[in-house]
Amino acid sequence: MEVDRRVGVAVDFSACSKKALKWALDNVVRDGDHLIILTVLPEGHYEEGEMQLWETTGSPLIPLSEFSDPSISKKYGVKPDAETLDIVNCVARQKDIVVVMKIYWGDAREKICEAIDNIPLSCLVIGNRGLGKIKR
């Protein structure tokens, strides 16, 4: 049995990704687990030094307490919605889990595959963007 489970959830703050996050929190995450929220932003020309510094490797792991701070979110160019942060904060307290976020910049498909290679995850949960079996 794994002692240190790391559950990854890919989130773009859409309705489908919120459902995937809720599903993971209800069905996969257990007390004491580490929840790693992965988000990928489109490539762009960023003025901020942090975004340029971490563009190829992704950001360092950002603790939830820091990420809830609007100045930190702005520093990385992410606009998380309050509902997602509330869901994660509530479950983090209830289940005593460690929540961190990792931000990538570029093509979501490629960056999520890179995350799988670079972050030691026990599992990864991804929503389907509301597409049926044929469109996926």
CB burial of 39-75 (b: ≥16 within 10 Å; e: otherwise) equals bbbeeeebeeeebeebbeebbeebebeebbeeebbeb
Instruction: Give the residue-averaged pLDDT of 71-76.
Output: 81
Q: What's the pLDDT score for residue 136?
A: 43
Q: Model pTM?
A: 0.85
- Residue ranges and CATH numbers for the domains of the chain are 6-126 (3.40.50)
Kindly tell me if the per-residue pLDDT of 133 is higher than 80: no
CA pair distance 128, 17, nearest whole angstrom: 8
Answer for the pair 13, 84: CB distance below 8 angstroms, yes or no. yes
Q: How confident is the model at residue 47 (pLDDT cuts 50, 70, 90)?
A: low
Q: What's the pLDDT score for residue 98?
A: 94
